[in-house]
Amino acid sequence: MAAAGGVVHISEIEKYKGDIDVLILCGGSATDLPEQGPELAALFNTVDSFDTHAKIPEYFEKVNEAATKAGTVSVISTGWDPGLFSLNRLLAEAVLPEGKEYTFWGKGVSQGHSDAIRRVAGVKDGKQYTIPVEAAVERVRKGENPELTTREKHLRECYVVAEAGADLAKIEHEIKTMPNYFSDYDTTVHFISEEELKANHSTMPHGGMVLRSGRTGKDSTQLIEFGLKLDSNPEFTASVLVAYARAVYKLSQAGESGAKTVFDIPFGLLSPKSPEQLRKELL
């Protein structure tokens, strides 16, 4: 194993075959993981946070083929969404089949939307917050099972640093009318100084909630809610990956192989505690 804190170039990774219990893949979902995931699963047990929801089935098949052939275990697409939110969607649907599920994201920084702002002409820097509409969340909590449009579920709040002399009205209009990213939402644009952006908008908070309201018996409304409030999205995602790395190691030791998702992993494997201890202390 590399010395603690040592950094090794990925081109040398094959040398470490047999020395690493589980590789935690931190590459991006757009171009890194589609290649790295299957390649590294052929050499090591892996955990990743591949999060392009629509491409998960295809990615699963590729990693599964490599891992099955190599006798390794790979947990794909973990983190909080996909990951803990997915688990709660499944659990709530299995327990309350007659119901409706709602996922709200935020308040938090969306990287994709922040990037979109920064591509607008005249914008020097910017951050975008996704914010759940509190009134919509309350309607779901009351068991109303409302039909909610995109606009009714989330607000988008933008903090923008403009280039000197830029046309602020034009920037604001361009952001608010941007298709896919902002036009379907109530969007607010705040122009601030570079110093303000640095001082107040440099961390990566996020969070959100998965709610399901369902009916049982004649007329009982039952609500299941799972929520996260995160000061640091990347640190929390990393913490989830580490918990799943424990499970990967245990499954590998038990002789399993292939790709898995959070749906395939019993929670007991996430903990360093023994099954006896878990039953005694946490059940």
Residue 262 interacting with its own copies (CB under 8 A): yes
Residue 254 interacting with its own copies (CB under 8 A): no
Is residue 248 a contact partner of residue 75, using CB atoms and an 8 Å limit? yes
Residue 228 interacting with its own copies (CB under 8 A): yes
Q: What is the smallest separation between the CB atom of 270 and its own copies, expressed in angstroms?
A: 4
Q: Which of 33, 84, 123, 161 binds its own copies (CB under 8 A)?
A: 84
User: What is the dihedral sign for C-alpha 20, 21, 26, 30?
Assistant: positive
Per-residue contact track with its own copies, 185 to 204, x per CB under 8 A? --------------------
Q: What is the smallest separation between the CB atom of 269 and its own copies, expressed in angstroms?
A: 9
Binding-site positions for substrate:
105, 130, 156, 206, 233
Q: What is the smallest separation between the CB atom of 135 and its own copies, expressed in angstroms?
A: 18
Nearer to its own copies, 147 or 219 (CB): 219
Site residues for its own copies, window 139-168 (CB under 8 A)? 141
Beta strands 46-47 and 23-24: pairing type?
Answer: parallel
Q: Measure Cα distances from 174 to 86, 109, 122, 182 in Å.
A: 34, 20, 11, 9
Residue 82 interacting with its own copies (CB under 8 A): yes
Kindly state the helix (H) or strand (E) to which residue 75 belongs, with its residue range. strand 73-75
Residue 21 interacting with its own copies (CB under 8 A): no
Residues 222, 99: Cα–Cα separation, whole Å: 9
For residue 218, what are its two tokens? 């004649």
Collapsing DSSP states into helix, strand and coil, what is residue 7?
Answer: coil
Residues 22, 137: Cα–Cα separation, whole Å: 39
Residue 42 interacting with its own copies (CB under 8 A): no
Q: Which of 29, 36, 60, 104 binds its own copies (CB under 8 A)?
A: 60
For residue 62, what are its two tokens? 């590729």
Q: Cis omega (within 30 of 0) on the bond before 82? A: yes
Residues in CB range of 87: below 8 A, 6 or more apart: 262, 263
In the complex, the residues that contact its own copies under the rule CB under 8 A are 53, 56-57, 60, 77, 82, 84, 86-91, 93-96, 141, 207, 216-217, 219-232, 235-236, 238-240, 243, 246, 261-268, 270-272, 275-276, 278-280, 282-283
